[in-house]
């Protein structure tokens, strides 16, 4: 004779199981969001970087054209590698370098300023982090990590990044 005993599941086990199902659901949704953002960055991140570099080059040329023959305002842009990064260099007396180093995997741009001092002191260094973010419409934008300022276009981010490099003055 085969006897099976049926034991009712305790209420606390049912509560834990339901909590775990909710956590699984939240984790799945978070994974979907991360995958969606990674897809946007793969599709549009490089285009945004290329647009920023082209816009910065155009803006620097326009700035140089405002000061023809002035070697102290001969600000140049050098492309760095194949990742879309670049370096902006302004000569002395108010020498500055700005290195824009993208990380598409990290969804960020690390922007490093180096302001040379004329008084023999070490250079002043500033760092700005810009993140790739998507808006509710699925458009990829860039956002300043510290202030939350959004840049929907390369023009706005170019201005934000180049003002300290062109003036030789930190923000």
Does 138 fall in a domain?
yes
Task: Return the pLDDT at 47.
Answer: 81
Q: How many domains does the chain have?
A: 1
Query: What's the rounded Cα separation, in Å, for the pair 134 and 33?
Result: 10
Residue 109 lies in a domain: yes
Kindly state whether residue 82 falls inside one of the protein's structural domains.
yes
pLDDT at res. 91: 93
Averages of pLDDT over runs of 10 residues in the chain (171 residues) are 64 93 91 71 76 94 95 91 86 92 83 89 91 73 85 89 93 82
- Asked, for residue 139, whether it belongs to a domain, the answer is yes
Residue 45 near residue 104 (C-beta atoms within 8 A): yes
Tell me the per-residue pLDDT of 34-56, one tens digit each, with 9 for 90 and over: 776 666 666 667 788 888 999 99
DSSP annotation of 124: E
In a domain? residue 2 = no
So what's the pLDDT on residue 26?
92
pLDDT at 106: 76
Q: Is 3 within a domain? A: no
Q: Which residues contact 80 (CB under 8 A, 6 or more apart)?
A: 86, 87, 99, 101
Query: Is residue 156 domain-resident?
Result: yes
Q: Which residues of 46-81 are buried (b: 16+ CB within 10 A; e: fewer)?
A: eebbebbbebbbebbeebbeeeeeeeebebebeeee
Domain that holds residue 161: 11-167
Decide if 121 is inside a domain.
yes
């Amino acid at each position: 004779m085969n006897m099976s005993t049926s034991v009712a599941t305790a209420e606390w086990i049912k509560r834990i199981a339901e909590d775990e199902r909710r956590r699984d659901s939240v984790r799945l949704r978070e994974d979907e969001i991360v995958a969606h953002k990674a897809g946007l960055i793969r599709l549009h991140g490089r285009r945004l970087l290329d647009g920023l570099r082209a816009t910065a080059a155009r803006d620097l040329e326009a700035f140089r054209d405002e000061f023809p023959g002035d070697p102290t305002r001969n600000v140049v842009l050098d492309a760095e590698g194949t990742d879309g990064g670049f370096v902006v260099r302004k000569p002395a007396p108010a020498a500055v370098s700005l290195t824009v180093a993208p990380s598409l995997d990290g969804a960020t741009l690390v922007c490093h300023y180096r302001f040379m001092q004329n008084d023999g002191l070490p250079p002043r260094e500033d760092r700005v982090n810009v993140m790739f973010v998507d808006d509710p419409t699925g458009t990829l934008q860039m956002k300043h990590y510290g202030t939350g300022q959004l840049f929907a276009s390369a023009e706005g981010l170019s201005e934000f990044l180049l003002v300290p490099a062109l003036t030789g003055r930190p923000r």
